[in-house]
Amino acid sequence: METIKPTTEQASRYDNLEQMNVAQLLRHMNTEDKSVPAAIEQALPQIEKFVNATVSKMKKGGRLFYIGAGTSGRLGVLDASECPPTFGVPDNWIIGLIAGGDKALRKAVENAEDDREQAWKDLQQYYIDENDVLLGIAASGTTPYVIGGMTKAREHGVICGSICCNAGAPLSAAADFPIELVVGPEFVTGSTRMKAGTAQKLALNMISTSIMISLGRVKGNKMVDMQLSNNKLVNRGIKMLMEELQLDETRARALLLKHGSVRSVLEQSKM
């Protein structure tokens, strides 16, 4: 009986790619990418359940951990690292871990993703416990590093979500809240840095942003707690205050630099 390949490993719908010109390559890749939002839409109920469970834990002081290997791990670390400057939260609210450690962010670490025991060791360095939430990310849904970490975490009472791009994957079976983003075969067969990676990035954006909004880190539609770490963000904050409080630019700048955040200025204005 022939074994059915996982969707992420199935042959591309296109062949003889090297014989295509650049315009053809770009057009076909764009056509494939259009399937990604539809896959996300199908998974919205799964994403919603995970976000609600995570918000409940984080309101009680819990943290959210991401674990992954390769592209999936890098996307998790990226999303986690963007939350403090965007929403002004501590670095330990959302923590991203990648198989092979930080050096794997730039270069592949041989066999790191195949170590089923290492993720739990990595998580223990942060004293993860039942108050926290773990999200395992793996396009294939079979990565031992991720599945091993989630299995051990659940044994210790940690609720777990997962993101993968194959239906009925082992990773989903290891999760309390599985999220499956089935985007179909990649343009380059098996290259999950493409559609699968895009789907994971979109889902992570939605997860972290909806969590932060639910935790009160956005006012109206503004990032009122963003870190003023460069001129662009300072100017954005000034514009927020000018619009919200009907101030001129000079006064808005002075207040922002005095109080250090848009939220602080807004709170002071109510006193």
User: What residues are labeled active site?
Assistant: 82, 113
Interatomic CA distance for residues 225 and 228, integer angstroms: 9
Give phi and psi for 244, each to the nearest 5.
Answer: -75, -40
Read off the amino acid at residue 174: A
The SS3 assignment for 59 reads helix
219: which strand partners? 222
Of 74, 83, 80, 125, the residue nearest 104 (C-alpha): 74
Which position has the token pair 């309390």? 176
- Which of 195-199's residues contact partners 24+ apart within 8 Å by CB, and which partners? 195/32, 195/33, 195/35, 195/36, 195/165, 196/8, 196/71, 196/139, 196/165, 197/71, 197/72, 197/75, 197/139, 198/33, 198/36, 199/36, 199/39, 199/40, 199/165
Spatial CB neighbours of 92, under 8 Å, sequence gap ≥ 6:
63, 126
